[in-house]
Structures are given as structure tokens and as C-alpha cells.
A and B are shown apart, each in its own frame.
Chain A
């Protein structure tokens, strides 16, 4: 059985995920950021499922928990990927390129899945399990690059809603943490125990920052993104 600290972090994460949805409803931005909130609702359900398995099925080391963890993580990563695409749609709303963005997003997801399958099918006989694990890993990196491209586009704009800026930046921070943790485990498999202990803590950061953004940043507040970039004098 996991220690009380693991339960506390799981509980805290679940609480923060619920808080994001509550804040979005209270601030009347649920429809505007629907996919982000859908992701949080799915996180809530997955957290509940993980808690149930932890409590009834032998804890973190049980096979059921591991399968549930990796499959649900792959599903959540795909939904998070579409949350990022929904932020693209918000940023480029006025340019009327929504159709192309959706098509591009689906093509990129299909391409990433095909690449993952090609790699996994050569190196493992447990294709489905490794596919779920590898797909999450690859999507985190693809998501990270896409968030960076989105941030670069936002930087070119004169004024952008402060809420959108905070949502994009926190997503970028989360993607970079996840991509870095997978890369670190691939480089040094001995660090797996330390990294896997860090993952739930890092998992709390995204709902925390989104809840903060929905709660505290006024809808009408706007920022000049160029002022936020790293403008270090030479």
C-alpha cells in the first residue's frame, strides 16, 4: 500500500482538478475553455479510478494499477493535446483557420501514433502496453513543441487576454516537466523511482496554475506578451 503522503498528493490533485472546473463555472468561462475543463473532469474520474484500485487492488505495485495508470495516462495525454489545440483555436479565432488547425492536429496525432507504433513493433512483444507508454511520452514532446510555437505566435500579438497567456504558459511548463521526466528515465533508468515519486507532485502544478488563472485573472485583463518575454540586455 502506498504511504499517506501518496494519498495526500492524490487527494490534493483531485481537489485542485475539481477547483479548476468550479472556478471556470463561477467565472463563466466553461464554454470558452470547454476542452480544458473536459480534461480536468477526466482527470478527476481517472484520479478516482486510481484511488479505487490503490485501495482495493493491492496498491502501486499491482499489475491492475500499472495497466490502469499507463492506459489512462495515454488517454489523458490525448485529451490534453486537444486542449492545446483548443487554445490554438482561441488564439487564431479571428483568422478563421479553425478547419485547417483541426485537420493539422488530427494529422499530427495520427503521424505521432504511426511513428510510435513503428518504434514499438520492432522492439517489444507487449505492443499495446508499450504503445500506450510510448505514445504518452511522444505526445508530451510534441505538445511541448506545439506550445512553444503557440507562445511564439502569441508573442507577436500586441495585446492578448492575460488569462489565455497564463493558461498557455502553465501548459508549457507542465509539458516541459513531463517531457523532461520521461527523457531522464530513458537516460538513467535507475532514477525511475525518484522520477515516478515526483510525477504526482508535478501533476498538481497544472490544475493549481489553471485554478489560479480562472480564479484571479479578470476576463477583461489584457497583457502585452512582448513585455513578458526574456528581454535580457546584451
Chain B
């Protein structure tokens, strides 16, 4: 009985920490202005739509990997999955939640686009270094 209560509390607390953590990661990238190349490639509108998230992540996977952003991209991927599940359930819970989840999904897409922008810049620097060498 106590173990079940501890498990339930842990899951609730986990969500209470995980969601703000993901939002703090997203907030850190929200002030970043995308380069014109990435805007062209992703075709993102303003504000970004959650529908484009998977497409931007696929573009991200085409770029050389940066170990330092791997963890945060995975965390935002999990957060996006949770938002999608909430969006599916939202009409039966509260319709206003749907608008909120759409906005959050859009912010996840923008975060992925910023990560793509950083990876493109990283690859460009790497190439420049190789040419110089």
C-alpha cells in the first residue's frame, strides 16, 4: 500500500519537475533568431506549428551530431509526445487545453529549429577548420 502511494507520488512529482524543466530549455532558445537558411529549409511560419515538429527533427538528424544538445533534444521529444497525448485527450477533458497544447507544440518545433540552426553553424565551423588545416 505504502509502495503504491510512493509510486503514485513519484510519478506526479516527476511530471511537476519534468514539464517546467522542458519549458526552461525551450525558454532559453525562444530569444534566438533563426538564420534565413534555416527559415527557408524548414519553412516555419510565425508562430511555429506543432505539425512541423517531426519534419524539423528529421532535418536535425541529417546534420552531424552535437553531443551537447542530444540530451535536451531527447527531453523535448518526450515532452512533445506527452503534449500530443494530452491534445488527443483534451476534447474530452477541456477544449481550452487544446489551444494551450498547440501553442506548446509550436514552441517545441521552434526549439528544434533553433537546435538545427546551431548544428548547421557547428558543421559550417567544422568545415572551415578542415579547409584551413
Chain A interface residues (CB < 8 Å from chain B) = 141, 144-145, 147-148, 151, 162, 165-166, 169-170, 172-173, 175-177, 179-180, 182-184, 186-187, 205, 208-209, 212, 215-217, 221, 223, 225, 227-230, 232-234
Contacts and interface: CB of A to CB of B under 8 A. Distances in A.
Contacts of B85: none
Given A148-B13, A148-B16, A212-B68, A180 B24 contact: no
Interface in B7-45: 7, 9-11, 13-21, 23-24, 27-28
Given A228-B20, A232-B100, A233-B97, A177 B28 contact: no
A223 B96 contact: no
A166 B27 CA distance: 12
> How big is the B interface, by class?
20 to 34
Nearest to A176: B14
Interface of B: 3-4, 6-7, 9-11, 13-21, 23-24, 27-28, 68, 71-72, 94, 96-97, 99-100
B3 A212 contact: no
B18 A173 contact: yes
Interface of A, helix, strand, loop or mixed by DSSP: helix
B68 A177 contact: no
Contact of A233 (B7, B71, B96): B96
